[in-house]
A and B are shown apart, each in its own frame.
Chain A
Amino acid sequence: GAGVSQSPSNKVTEKGKDVELRCDPISGHTALYWYRQRLGQGLEFLIYFQGNSAPDKSGLPSDRFSAERTGESVSTLTIQRTQQEDSAVYLCASSRTVSGNTIYFGEGSWLTVV
């Protein structure tokens, strides 16, 4: 596709439910990143995938968060047993390579936990 595509764009869920967020990177981009941005806050790194290498999960805030990516295609971020503090926009980004290359963001998935 022309840009990074994320779905759903908006999600309202009840506390305790699981949610799944999807990201489709720009075609040909090998690196994929997930960030979280709470209202009025900065971007918080969550996880990074590069090709078939083991992902860098150092930013995941708890074991309720997990992500997968198949090859160099779609990634899914899963949040289990959602809590109110999980409410945020989840931004996916991709880049062509890792060596200093620019990352491009999708429009984000806005998650509200009630």
Chain B
Amino acid sequence: QKEVEQNSGPLSVPEGAIASLNCTYSDRGSQSFFWYRQYSGKSPELIMSIYSNGDKEDGRFTAQLNKASQYVSLLIRDSQPSDSATYLCAVILSGGSYIPTFGRGTSLIVHP
């Protein structure tokens, strides 16, 4: 069983729509969760982190964490073509190791 799972996509949404990206994790004791964006040929860049259940908003981005159901999601409002990228979910699993485990990423395409 993979520890951090994401649908590889591609997820295609029209410009202006809400894009919803999901990530599930296997370790119930995980405490730290991150979303990164990776443009083709570039390194991952942080979008936001979330540590507590509920929603966390930053501009057009909202991260949602549900530890009971072991999922974390990222909503992108008013999607723009420039949001087209691969979105990586990262989780610091419990057990004393502080190494983020990454999902394979979801490819998002925002078409005009």
Asked if A102 contacts B97 (CB within 8 A), the reply is no
> Which of A89-114 touch B at CB < 8 Å?
89, 91, 98-100, 102-108
Q: Does A31 sit at the interface, judged by CB under 8 A?
A: yes
Given contacts A42-B105, A100-B32, contact A107 B98 (CB under 8 A): no
Main secondary structure of the interface of A (DSSP, over half): strand
Asked if B99 contacts A56 (CB within 8 A), the reply is yes
Asked if B92 contacts A108 (CB within 8 A), the reply is no
Asked if A43 contacts B99 (CB within 8 A), the reply is no
Asked if A33 contacts B99 (CB within 8 A), the reply is yes
Give the interface size class of chain A.
20 to 34
CA distance A100 to B101 in the complex (A): 12
CA distance A31 to B98 in the complex (A): 9
Residues from chain A with a CB closer than 8 A to the CB of B43 are 89, 91, 105-108
Distance in angstroms from A36 CB to nearest chain B CB is 11
Residues from chain A with a CB closer than 8 A to the CB of B34 are 102-103
Distance in angstroms from A94 CB to nearest chain B CB is 12
Asked if B44 contacts A105 (CB within 8 A), the reply is yes
Residues from chain A with a CB closer than 8 A to the CB of B92 are 100
Q: Which residues of A contact B (CB under 8 A)?
A: 31, 33, 35, 41-43, 45, 48, 50, 56, 89, 91, 98-100, 102-108
